[in-house]
Structures are given as structure tokens and as C-alpha cells.
Amino acid sequence: MPLTLDDRDQALLNGAGGAAAALAMRVVSRTAEVMQAQRLIDITGAHIDSCLYNGQASVDFAQRLADGGAQVSVPATLNVSSLDLIHPELFRGDAHTAEQGRRLMELYEGMGCRPTFTCAPYQEDNRPNLGEHVVWAESNAIVFANSVLGARTHRYGDFLDISAAITGRAPLAGLHLDANRRATVVFDVSGLPERLTALDAFYPLLGHHIGRQVGKAVPVVVGAPDGVAEHALKALGAAGAAAGAVGMFHLVGSTPEAPTLDAALGGEPAAQTHAVTTADIRLARDQLTTSSSSRLGVVSLGTPHYSVAEFGRVVDLLDDRPIHPSVRLYINTGRSVANEIALRGWTPRLEASGVQIVTDTCTYITPIIEAVDGIAMTDSAKWAYYAPGNLGLDVAFGSVEDCVESAVRGEIVRDESVWADA
Amino acid sequence: MRACGPMPEAERVLMPGEARGPVLHLEEPVSFWGGLDPKTGIIIDQAHPQVGESVVGRILVMPSGRGSSSGSSVLTEVLRAGIGPAGIVMQQADEIFVIGVLAAEELYDITVPVFTVDTATYTALAAASAVLMTPDGTITAG
């Protein structure tokens, strides 16, 4: 069955809503044809990744929309940009990039998007509910919306995101449909020692392992403790979406569409089952560590953007101790979380220890980190995956406990005992 | 090695067009954002088997996409700058790539063909040195 547009869609396509809405409807409807959708559906919100400057094309598309009178028709949040407007002095790139990055942010604000500038829109107010159709771009946000919130978005890219926000419409296809949300690949972690599955750092490594295995299939994890914390699910999804094309996962006993393994599989047999071993998790850690040196230069936390709870953990672990003078420690977050931790009195304590809080952007997408003599350490599998290519740095993955302890001591320290075989 | 590759898909023309060029077979999926330098068209994903290879003017033969949503705008940007691939052949459709081509067509009137192929064709194309993609959706090696 080919795509059928309703009268409203057709009117937008014909220019009834102006030039920008017509362009937006062309992008949505042509994407719908590629996805083999038969019709479009209404969405309740959008998260826009197009505000990150990736060259002239980013600005040209936004300018074309703005010139055509574009306004979003549903609430829309903005992803990270290439600048930290709250701490502009941190930007170490060229003036042209800064100017273009700022221009892009202004263009999207002008279309009615909220200047959230965070890759974690699920940490803002009014997050979507179970079953709600949205269009989110930004791979970690997509996987969180689908998996943890039970909202429905396909893996969308730049340009489609804002086009959907303008038209309020999305293709009824992909992860919007029940049939495609069913898990087909099982990852059984019940053979792993409990001390490992109880560890926060286990989840991003599991996500990396899963992402390497499944490509675009929907995986389900079984055998983990019930009620895994939201920040661990966030880290699992972000890692899986970076290492693979994971748009949704289930974790039996923790995610809303997986009360049981059978429910996650939709009553069908699994296409594949993998028994995850401690060696798989060690391998993931080693793939995310590009040097065996213990010489530490920088620590970056908060990819995806840290939540209030994650900041609270760092405040406790750091316990007002100073960061070693040879090390810089950056924590990336959104403006709203930055405001919240300031209200709690944590910001001056972190800053007194030497922590640099970065908002609106992230240390791996824009030149912020000063010249580094030594390894970059992170608790983020996603940051560890992208930083060697983006920044030309050697990286070491570690738990947040290891990252904070290493930053204080001035050298990489890792608790190896947790990674040993049972 | 991956325990399972992408599920094969029927042959489809995702973006029509014509292209002839040398093949760059990407043995693993790539994210254009963070995986491709938008200023040079060279693959910079340090974990990718084809790191250091250039996509410029080549027909990419790849299993599927992965990673970042920003892959769309990076693809549009390299097409704008004239350092993009000449065509893309995938085993499994990836909307993020298609949207990048759509935007290049809207903004700059530049397009490249994007097709999906079945497993047998994919295997043959991956081993070919050059490929011809034609507007009716046929692909031939050579």
C-alpha cells in the first residue's frame, strides 16, 4: 500500500501553510515513503537535533525554514549545540564556527523551540508518557523515549525532526508500530555475578556489547535485578545507540513494555539468544580504552547530560576534596539541571574542588578541553566511543567512582576486582 | 565479528538517481556524525575497519547505518561541499542517510542514489571494484 496523505497533509504540501510548512511536509512525506508508511500520525512533541552546527548545510536548512515563516506546531525541545552560551569563555574554536553555531541556535529559538540545549530532554518537565507518539532525534534520547518512557519515536535524523515539529506529523512506521517494538534478540545476564550487575558501570558496557551485536534489531535483557535505576538504563541505551543502531531495548523487570520476557518478545520465540559472560563485559571495557597508560589528563562526565541524581553521586564521591592540579574534570549537563544543582548548593562545592560544569553542549563535540597531557577518562561508553575520532585523544573507560578517585589522585586508578570472573 | 548481520531486505530504490564510481565497501555500519570528517570526507571512526578511507566520489556499499542522528546533516554537508559519496547501497534501509540526501536535494539540487539490495547482490557488489547505479534501480558491477 502506498502512502496516503489526508486533506490537511495535502494542503500543507500544496503550500496552504506557507513555504516552510510545504518544505517540511515534503521531508516528512518522502521519509514516510522510504519507511513504507501508509499514513502519517499526529505527534505530541519533538526533540530537535538539527540545532547542532555541522557545517554550512545546518544553517542553510534552518535559514530556508525561517525565511519561509516556520513555526513549530507542537512543543519542541532543542538538543545540544556547538556552544556553551552560559560559559562562552570555554569555547576554544574559531570565530566563524562560533558565530554560525550561535546563529543556528537563534534560528531554532525563533521557530518556537524551547532553548533547552540538552541531549537529555527526558530530564526536562513534561516528558512524554507511555504510548505517546513523538519525533525525537539524538540517538540516546530516542532510545530513552522508546525504552524507558514507552513513548514512541523512530530513529530520526536532523531535518526530519524540525520538519515533524512544524507539521505536527510523523510517519506511521518503524518504532511507532507495535510489531516493530517487539524484541527479537535476547541477552541473558543471569550467569553474571551479582556484584557486576549491581554496578552502575556494568550498564553502559552491556549497552556497548549489545550495540555491537544487534545492529537495528530490538534487544531484550533478561536476568538483571528488577528496577534498574533510570541513570543506568540511560547509559545502557546511549552506549547501544552509539555502538549500534539501537532505537529501543527492553530490560525485563525495569522497562515498561517488558514486565516479562514473554511480553517483551510479544509471545513469539526469540530469533537469537546470547548468554552474556564476564569476558564480554571486560572486552567492552577494553574496546572503550585505547591506552594502558595511567597518566591522566582530563576526566569528562555527563554524556548524556548528567541528571540531578548523577550530580549528587559525584558530590558524595568527591566529598569536597580538590581535583589534582594536573587534571581537569568536566561535567556536561543541561541548563535546567545546572539550575537545580545550584539551588541545592552543589555548584559552589563542585567548583571549589575544581570541577568545570559545561552546559548547552558537550566536551566531545566542540573544542572546550584544553591541551591534554595524558589520557582522557570517562564514565560514558558513548564519550569513549566518539572522543578518539572527534578529539584525537586516548581514552579510558571507568566507573564514576574510579573517575572521581582518579581525578583526585591525578592518575588512573581502577578497581579491577569487580571485573574478575565469578 | 558480529553474531548477526542485518536482516536482508528486498531491493528498493530509496532515492532514485544515476551514479558510477569505485566501490568503498564498509565492512561495518558507520555513523557519519563522529565517524566521518565533514571537512575532508575521510572516515575517522577509530574503531571502524575502513578508518582513514575517503568516501569522496565512491559508491558506498554498507550493511546499514548506525549511531548519531546528526548523520543526516553531515551527509548533506559533504554533498554540499562536493566531497560526498557518489551513491549508497545498503543491505538494510537507514532513514538517517536518506534524509541527508533529501535535504541536499531541497537545498542545493544535489542528489545521489540510495538503494537497498538483497544479500546475494550485496555480496557481489562488496567484492566489485566499481559499480553503476541507474535510475530504474538496477545496479551492475563494473
Q: What is the pLDDT of residue A390?
A: 84
Q: What is the pLDDT of residue B1?
A: 30
pLDDT mean across residues, chain A: 95
CA A190, A194, A199, A205 dihedral sign is negative
DSSP string, B54-100: B-TT-EEEES-B-S-TTHHHHHHHHHHTT-S-SEEEESS--HHHHHH
Beta strands A40-42 and A375-378 are: unpaired
Alpha carbon distance A415, A417 (integer Å): 6
Annotation says B69 is catalytic:
no
- Supply the ipTM of this predicted assembly: 0.91
Contact state of B70 with A54 under an 8 Å Cβ cutoff? yes
Q: What is the pLDDT of residue A296?
A: 96
Q: Of residues B68, B69, B72, B129, which has the active-site annotation?
A: B68
Residue pair A119/A138 in contact (Cβ under 8 Å)? The answer is yes
Q: How many CB pairs under 8 A join A and B?
A: 158
Distance from CA of A343 to the nearest CA of B (A): 33
pLDDT band of B9, cuts 50, 70, 90:
low
Residue of A236 and A86 predicted with greater confidence: A236
Alpha carbon distance A274, B101 (integer Å): 36
Half-sphere exposure of B5 (CA within 13 A, CB side): 15
- The answer, yes or no, to whether residue B7 has pLDDT greater than 70, is no
Q: What is the pLDDT of residue A205?
A: 98
- The answer, yes or no, to whether residue B16 has pLDDT greater than 70, is yes
Residue of A269 and A370 predicted with greater confidence: A269
Q: What is the pLDDT of residue A18?
A: 97
CB atoms inside a 10 Å sphere around CB A348: 9
Contact state of A386 with B4 under an 8 Å Cβ cutoff? no
Alpha carbon distance A302, A294 (integer Å): 22
Q: Alpha carbon A68 to chain centroid distance?
A: 31
pLDDT mean across residues, chain B: 89
C-alpha cell at B123: 555480496
Q: What is the pLDDT of residue B69?
A: 77
Question: What does the pLDDT average to over A349-360?
Answer: 97
Contact state of A49 with B29 under an 8 Å Cβ cutoff? no
Distance from CA of B115 to the nearest CA of A (A): 11
pLDDT band of A372, cuts 50, 70, 90:
confident
pLDDT band of B29, cuts 50, 70, 90:
confident
Q: What is the pLDDT of residue A1?
A: 80
Residue of A370 and A305 predicted with greater confidence: A305
Three-state SS string over B101-127 comes to: HHHHHHHHCCCCCEEECCHHHHHHHHH
Alpha carbon distance A388, A385 (integer Å): 7
- The answer, yes or no, to whether residue B4 has pLDDT greater than 60, is no
Measured distance between the N- and C-terminal CA atoms of chain A, rounded to whole angstroms: 54
Give pLDDT tens digits for B54-97. 999 999 999 988 777 788 999 999 999 999 999 999 998 888 89
Residue pair A300/A375 in contact (Cβ under 8 Å)? The answer is no
C-alpha cell at A398: 571507568
Reported pTM: 0.94
Residue pair A310/A302 in contact (Cβ under 8 Å)? The answer is yes
**What three-state secondary structure class fits A298?**
strand
- The answer, yes or no, to whether residue A421 has pLDDT greater than 80, is no
pLDDT band of A245, cuts 50, 70, 90:
confident
Give pLDDT tens digits for A128-146. 999 999 999 999 999 999 9
Distance from CA of A300 to the nearest CA of B (A): 17
DSSP string, A326-344: T-EEEEEE-HHHHHHHHHT
